[in-house]
Chains A and B, each alone.
Chain A
Amino acid sequence: MSNRGTAVQGAGSVRKRAALTAGMSIAALLLSGCVQSEREENTGAEGESTVDSSFVFAASSDPKSLDPAFASDGESFRVSRQIFEGLVGVEPGTANPAPLLAESWETSEDGLSTVFQLKEGVTFHDGTPFDAEAVCYNFDRWYNWTGIQQAETVSYYYNSLFRGFADSPEDAVYESCEASGDNEATINLAQPFAGFIAALSLPAFAMQSPTALEEFSADEIGGTEDTPSLSEYALGNPVGTGPFTFDSWSVGEQLQLSAYPDYWGEQGQISDVTFRIIDDPQARRQALEAGTIDGYDLVAPADTQSLKDAGYNIVPRDPFTILYLGMNQQIPELQDPLVREAIAHAIDKEALVSQTLPEGTEVASQFIPPVVDGYNEDVTTYDFDPERARELLTEAGYPDGFEITFNYPTNVSRPYMPTPEQVFTNLQAQLSDVGIRVNPAPAAWSPDYLNQVQGTADHGLHLLGWTGDYNDTDNFIGVFFGREKPEFGFDNPELFAALDEARGTSDRGEQTELYKDINEQIAEFNPAIPLAHPAPSLAFAPRVTSYPASPVSDEVFSEIELSE
């Protein structure tokens, strides 16, 4: 009896549960129906009903640091550009400075003082208001770094652009910052710096939250005396004003950001960004093909066509690079201007570009890309003319040509030189046509090749290049030819002085004219042969319909457009 009773009771409870489940399911259905229709209405207006708002991008390495002030590498900046914004931004698609957190600015006539009018109503991700105090906090922070914080490997950009720190004020470019109003900050410089505004567009000088910098001891680096360790801030607590906030970082694996709900600007379609760390270039391409990522950077030139054919979107950047053939004048033959001229005439840049460099690459006539100030349209060029090259060699006393070492790096891909081995092979053939016999001297990129070419006189012809950081002519030719270097092995006081003068000129227009002259001066002196401005490209899944490609990689993901 009791048994049966339990059984009945059991059956009853089962029935009850079934009824409850059914009721709940109906309720859930109704609810979800409502939610569904609401969502449809919502998205119907915006036309984003089916868009997957998470975006996965393959990074080639982890960022070195989440604190952009202590970073100088592209992967750190790619992440920090999503989280942070600077006073000055970049005009889309160019390298020119444009207002960002500062709405406008005015520089005094002597170039020593600039007043910035700041955007109102902007807050950092932690709620700290962005105002003149915050601006001054950041500038003073950089200026007051000491010890290991001043190492080039730690604070490369502040170091190389603002030169001195509070403990060495005699070299310093920066002097002081005043909060002249809530939204007005005045920066005083100790010496004129024409590239000041353009420099501020670098991610290294982005505005960071003073509260977070203090709370997470951003300047406490140097865990041990011989190797700096990252601060708590740089490891996982970056706070800026940008469209995305930092979520998590699993080192070697992935880094996640999510949209900042109170962002002052357009938030765009993307709600979550994941940077997956895939260091092998081949693996990045395969990840795109397998659909686990939405895009990656620095597509190998050989891959572009096949990816395009398979329906992927290839987005080229305007070139902001230079690839050159260096000539070490410590080698007696290369000391002779006639020989250098002969080499210049021996090279068919058009053929080199079409055979070995990515689509979109431009032939170079000088050491800065056309979008940089001081580009000289009328610079002296050496056209491809093997006949003339042979004549010049004969004139220089080498009727049968000569033998020379040609250094090039192996197993490396740089934005300005995706395949150094191919570039070398191509040039080797061209040089041998005019009688210059090349002894190949390949070396591993780092540290062997860089050491040999930049640190010693033991090299001849060599391949090297540069990717610009921002619109600054000195950042190209000043780096190459600003002083005596083992790489080129020449001493040209006149050129060094001209570059010094141009660097110290505060008037941008005047400076541009000086750089045009310097570019001509370099072309005549011919210390190296500018070969090309290779254009790096990105590849995206078909659903990525628009990407804000920028020559200086100023690419903020809130501007990406997705179709599904």
Chain B
Amino acid sequence: MLRVIGKRIALLIPTLFGLSILLFLWVRSLPGGPATALLGEKATPEAVARVNELYGFDRPLPVQYLTYMGRLLRGDFGVSINTGRPVLEEFATRFPATMELTIVALIFAIGIGIPLGYLAARHYGRILDHGSVVLSLIGITVPVFFLAFILKYLFAIQWSLLPPDGRQNPRIDATHYTQFYVLDGVLTGEYDAAWDALQHLILPGIALGTIPLAIIVRITRASVLEVQNADYVRTARAKGLMERTIRGSFILRNAMLPVVTTIGLQLGLLISGAVLTETVFAFNGIGRFLRDAIFGLDYPVLQGFIIFIAILYALINLIVDLSYSVIDPRVRVQ
């Protein structure tokens, strides 16, 4: 097992190296530059030239790349042009926010998606099944920002049930250690702060979790449909096994393989969905930060972020692969 993990991580290195070159060239081939974005209306050609010179953007690309890689290898992702803070520090304060949001979205998607998909398959061809198909179709087709907007309008503004934006009510004096606000609240015993932070996660969590929910419903349904008619299920029934055992250990467990793969893939997609959700809910996560970096052509942030995401994706895939062996012993043997 350790060897497998080691090999996978070793393979990551050339991938990341290639990615870093492509990324570097791509970011710098974008029209304009950070100087224009920073100066706005004040961007006279002379001012832009001087800023580029001072920031080193006028040096040859290979020189810029080597300087960048040299620092990257030392763990220095550079400094954000927009905010003047180290990129790594910016990620460290925002990533927990996006993680928190992603976890809530996943809990929502998995917690509803798997049971609903399973029930739909069990009641194949009946009302519940049709209903779930229609619902998941709507879930996939409604744009995230639109859903986010509607949720916010109804629950936060019309009915004032939940907070409309942010991560914490500014009037609550909360201490933060880990930047996971809910966890912080629980750790410090400030339960009202934890509860407040959790309330702030509900609407964006639902908005972000809807597409994965819809996909999980469909995959679970299809997978259960396939498995529940398999020979070994029929054999198990013929043997007279309890229906509960058949459903739990035979159908659900075997049906989970594709679902787990899907969830792993969704986790990556959730981060991109967070760009829109976080914007609508003024939620201070990675997504909103990335959007600002794109508009401001913040080279160090864009580069750092994409490398970061690449590593994250690779790790998620690794975890998904490893989880197969937990679910399916045959994978372990191989």
Report A's interface with B, CB cutoff 8 A. 54, 56, 61-62, 64-65, 72, 147-148, 150-153, 156, 160, 221, 223-230, 234-235, 250-254, 256, 274, 276-280, 282-283, 286-287, 289-292, 446-448, 450-451, 454-455, 464-466, 485-486
Contact = CB atoms under 8 A, between A and B. Distances in A.
Contact of A448 (B32, B42, B280, B300): B32
A148 B165 contact: no
B169 A447 contact: no
A290 B163 contact: yes
B51 A151 contact: yes
Given A254-B166, A464-B41, 15 more contacts: A65-B84, A152-B50, A227-B78, A227-B80, A229-B85, A252-B94, A252-B288, A254-B170, A276-B170, A279-B282, A279-B288, A280-B279, A446-B36, A447-B37, A450-B36
B55 A226 contact: yes
Which 7 A-B pairs have CB atoms at the shortest separation, nearest pair first? A447-B32, A252-B284, A226-B56, A230-B84, A447-B36, A227-B79, A278-B282
Contacts of A64: 82-84
Nearest to A56: B170
A226 B59 CA distance: 10
A227 B304 CA distance: 14
B79 A251 contact: no
Contacts of A160: 42
B76 interface: yes
Contacts of B94: 252
Interface of B: 31-33, 35-45, 47-48, 50-51, 54-57, 64, 67, 71, 76, 78-86, 90, 93-94, 149, 152-153, 156-157, 160, 163-171, 176, 279-282, 284, 288-289, 292, 295-297, 300
A426 B134 CA distance: 44
Contact of A455 (B48, B57, B292): B48
Given A151-B51, A252-B284, A286 B35 contact: no
Contacts of A227: 55, 78-81, 84, 300
Nearest to B82: A64
B164 A290 contact: yes
Contacts of A54: 171
A119 B51 CA distance: 38
Contacts of B288: 252, 279
Contacts of A251: 83, 85, 90, 93, 284
A370 to B, nearest CB: 21
Contacts of B297: 447
Contacts of A252: 93-94, 284, 288-289
A446 B282 contact: no
Given A65-B84, A226-B67, A450 B41 contact: yes
B85 A290 contact: no
Nearest to B94: A252
A56 B169 CA distance: 11
B86 A223 contact: yes
Contacts of A156: 39, 42
Given A151-B50, A152-B42, A287-B282, A446 B295 contact: yes
Contacts of B40: 446, 450
B280 A253 contact: no
B36 A274 contact: no
Of B39, B55, B165, most A-chain CB atoms within 10 Å:
B165
A504 B192 CA distance: 62
B47 A152 contact: yes
B158 to A, nearest CB: 9
19 contacts: A72-B42, A152-B39, A160-B42, A221-B84, A224-B78, A226-B64, A227-B80, A227-B81, A229-B85, A250-B93, A251-B284, A253-B166, A283-B165, A290-B156, A290-B165, A446-B36, A446-B295, A455-B36, A466-B41
Given A276-B166, A290-B160, A454 B44 contact: yes
Contacts of B153: 286
B36 A223 contact: no
B42 A455 contact: no
A283 B39 contact: no
Given A152-B42, A227-B55, A455-B48, A287 B84 contact: no
A62 B67 CA distance: 29
B50 A290 contact: no
A72 B41 CA distance: 12
Contacts of A276: 165-166, 170, 282
A280 B93 CA distance: 21
A192 to B, nearest CB: 24
Contacts of B160: 290-291
A230 B36 contact: no
Contacts of B51: 151-153
Nearest to B71: A224
A465 B42 CA distance: 11
B35 to A, nearest CB: 7
Contacts of A230: 83-85
Contacts of A283: 164-165, 279-282
Nearest to B282: A278
Contacts of B39: 152-153, 156
B164 A292 contact: yes
Contacts of A235: 85
Contacts of B295: 446
A156 B163 CA distance: 39
Contacts of B64: 226
A486 B46 CA distance: 12
A477 to B, nearest CB: 14
Of B55, B84, B166, B297, most A-chain CB atoms within 10 Å:
B84
A287 B41 CA distance: 29
B94 to A, nearest CB: 6
A286 B165 contact: yes
Contacts of B41: 450, 464-466
B166 A229 contact: no
